Amino acid sequence: MQQKTSEAAARARPATNWAGNVTYRAARLHRPTSTAELQDVVARSERVKVLGSRHCFNDIADTTGDLVVLDGLGSDVEIDGSPGADGGTAWIPAGMPYSQLVPDLAARGYGLPNLASLPHITVAGATATGTHGSGNRNGSLSTSVVGMDLVRSDGGTVTLTPGDPDFPGAVVHLGALGVVTRIGLRFQPTFQVRTNVYVGLTWDRLVTDFQAVTDAAYSVSVFTDWQEVTQVWVKSRTDELGNAAQENTAPEEFFGARAATVPTHMLTNTPVENLTEQLGVPGEWHERLPHFRTGFTPSNGNELQTEYFVPRRYVREVCDALRSLGPRIAPLLQVSELRTVAADDLWLSPAYGADVLALHFTWFRDETRVRALLPEIEAALRPYGARPHWGKVFTADADELERLYPRIPDFRALVRRFDPRGAFRNDFLDRTVAAFG
């Protein structure tokens, strides 16, 4: 019987992450259907990690022990109290993907202030890694977190809220503190957004007027191949547009760029059917803030991703540095995206203490050549304090990361208190945060 059970577990475990560049080594995969069952799995496991949507591009969720998937812990969204004009709190099973959550909230008349470009990722995975959307005044998805229920390595549970001194260190936790089972997200009244795409923006105009460009709408994304600016996606809240919203019009010119007249993909020669609607057609927040529609798989996963965050004041310097590497970057690059994220106080957030510019790279899936190039990119960005996205491909080690994230020593102390036996440690944490002993 034990042999049959082991064989079934081996067949059930996922072989790779979404991109196919990480092969999971876990001996067993568990899908608990209750918190009590999850507590038992965690308490008995020597090493355990949680697997979300598998959209991380490194080994952050890998382990040689047990993997846990949380999609069996229910799907009920609980609204805390009677929300007023300023919104309220929704308590969400941590394994729920945004694609399942946001239509539920919208149907109740609620909205989240920000969303990532992909709606398919889980709430737990996105908030644990500081994942973000875009907007000068918008914090990352992690800044919407106002509560967490967590199973510690001894099987016990704890609830954290903003009044707890550990809370700023626990939100972006990289899976190092325990298994988050439920998350409280701050919401607000629903709102509508419209997307307009512009082409032909020059580099000089972008870096000279960067603050104005990114402040021109609720959310702005700039796409580039590091030779030219290829597109600008301008996502405006209709309640901030005045008469223009009533007329359903948008300027034909945007800082010298011209409005696209047909739906436009950020990748050339790529069908637009999986993109959220453009051309200024208003829609609910959850149908416009992501780049990709919920009902479509955005691609087949045949890609790698890297992202770095630098203080926004360095936009000209970092763009010049990356453009100088353009000939080295271009053969491996599908597209880059520039976005902004507002500062926060979460210890391991890439936006900790500073408004940041996010420099995103979607690569062809050639990991050997990409990893060979990343040290050059990181060296070019090092003078500007570039912090890597925790869930993507990078080469910075623990010593450099500690210089970039000043609260890492405090985070290590937090990990020792929450997980004294090291059940949630793995190679990724040893390589990037290190020195837990």
| CATH code at position 119 | 3.30.465.10
Residue 164 shares a structural domain with residue 225: no
Query: What pLDDT shows up at residue 389?
Result: 98
Q: Does pLDDT of 75 surpass 70?
A: yes
Instruction: Please check whether residues 294 and 341 belong to one and the same domain.
Output: yes
* 232 shares a domain with 88: no
Does 158 lie in the same domain as 208? no
Give me the half-sphere count of Cα atoms (radius 13 Å) on the Cβ side of residue 290: 25
**Are 250 and 356 in a shared domain?**
yes
Residue 410 lies in a domain: no
The least confident of 9-18, 97-106, 165-174 is 9-18
Residues 243 and 305 in one domain: yes
SS3 for the chain is: CHHHHHHHHHHHCCCECCCCCCECCCCEEECCCCHHHHHHHHHHCCCEEEECCCCCCCCCCCCCCEEEECCCCCCCCEEEEEEECCEEEEEEECCCEHHHHHHHHHHCCEECCCCCCCCCCEHHHHHHCCCCCCCCCCCCHHHHEEEEEEECCCCCEEEECCCCCCHHHHCCCCCCCCEEEEEEEEEEECCEEEEEEEECCCHHHHHHCHHHHHCCCCEEEEEECCCCEEEEEEEEEHHHCCHHHHHCCCCCEECCEEECCCCCCCCCCCCCCCECCCCCCCEEHHHCCCCECCCCCCCCCCEEEEEEEEEHHHHHHHHHHHHHCHHHHHHHEEEEEEEEECCECCCCCCCECCCEEEEEEEEECCHHHHHHHHHHHHHHHHHHCCEECCCCCCCCCHHHHHHHCCCHHHHHHHHHHHCCCCCCCCHHHHHHCCCCC
Give the least confident one: 132-141, 194-203, 261-270, 405-414.
261-270
Q: How many domains does the chain have?
A: 3
pLDDT (average), residues 55-78: 93
Residues 46 and 109 placed together within one structural domain of the fold: no
Q: Which whole number is the average pLDDT over 113-123?
A: 90
User: Is it the case that residue 414 has pLDDT exceeding 90?
Assistant: yes
At residue 11, the pLDDT reads 44
Looking at the fold, whether 165 and 244 belong to one and the same domain comes out as no
Residue 147 sits in the same domain as residue 269: no
Residue 4: the pLDDT is 39
Parent domain of 31: 2-69
Residue 286 lies in a domain: yes
Looking at the chain, the whole-number percentage of residues with pLDDT higher than 70 is: 92
- Picking from 190, 210, 228, the residue at the C-terminal end of a domain is 190
Answer yes or no: is pLDDT of 5 > 90.
no
Q: Which residue has the higher pLDDT, 246 or 388?
A: 388
Q: Identify the CATH number of the domain in which residue 44 sits.
A: 3.30.43.10
419 within a domain of the structure (yes/no): no
Q: What is the mean pLDDT of residues 98-112?
A: 93
Q: What is the pLDDT of residue 241?
A: 82
Asked if residue 204 has pLDDT above 70, the reply is yes
pTM: 0.93
In which band, very low, low, confident or very high, does the pLDDT at 117 lie, cut at 50, 70 and 90?
confident
Residue 99 maps to a domain = yes
Q: What is the pLDDT of residue 7?
A: 37
Domain boundary among 69, 89, 114: 69
pLDDT of 349 above 70: yes
Say if residue 437's pLDDT is above 80: no
Q: Find the distance separating the first CA and the last CA of the chain, reported in whole Å.
A: 39
Assess whether pLDDT exceeds 50 at residue 337: yes
296 — pLDDT class (breaks 50, 70, 90) = confident
Q: Is residue 402 part of a domain?
A: no
- The per-residue pLDDT for 28 is 92
Q: What is the arithmetic mean of pLDDT over 309-318?
A: 98
Same-domain check for residues 171 and 205: no
Does residue 229 share a domain with residue 136?
A: no
pLDDT for 231 beyond 80: yes
Higher pLDDT, 200 or 271: 200
- Do 37 and 85 sit in the same domain of this protein? no
Q: What is the pLDDT of residue 163?
A: 92
Mean pLDDT for 103-128 is 92
Q: How confident is the model at residue 85 (pLDDT cuts 50, 70, 90)?
A: low
Residue that is last in its domain, among 45, 69, 93: 69
The two tokens of residue 252 are: 């034909």
pLDDT in tens, 131-153: 999 999 999 999 999 999 999 99
Q: Does residue 423 lie in a domain region?
A: no
Residue 245: predicted pLDDT: 55
More confident site: 436 or 31: 31
What CATH number has the domain bearing residue 271? 3.30.70.2520
Position 269 scores a pLDDT of 81
Percent of the chain with pLDDT over 90: 83
Residue-level pLDDT at 434: 78
**pLDDT of 3 over the 90 cut:** no
Q: Which residue has the higher pLDDT, 379 or 13?
A: 379
How far apart CA 142 and CA 145 sit, in angstroms, is 6
Q: Is the pLDDT of residue 9 over 50?
A: no
Residue 428, domain member (yes or no) = no
Q: What is the mean pLDDT of the chain?
A: 91
Asked if residue 359 belongs to a domain, the reply is yes
- Amino acid 203: pLDDT: 97
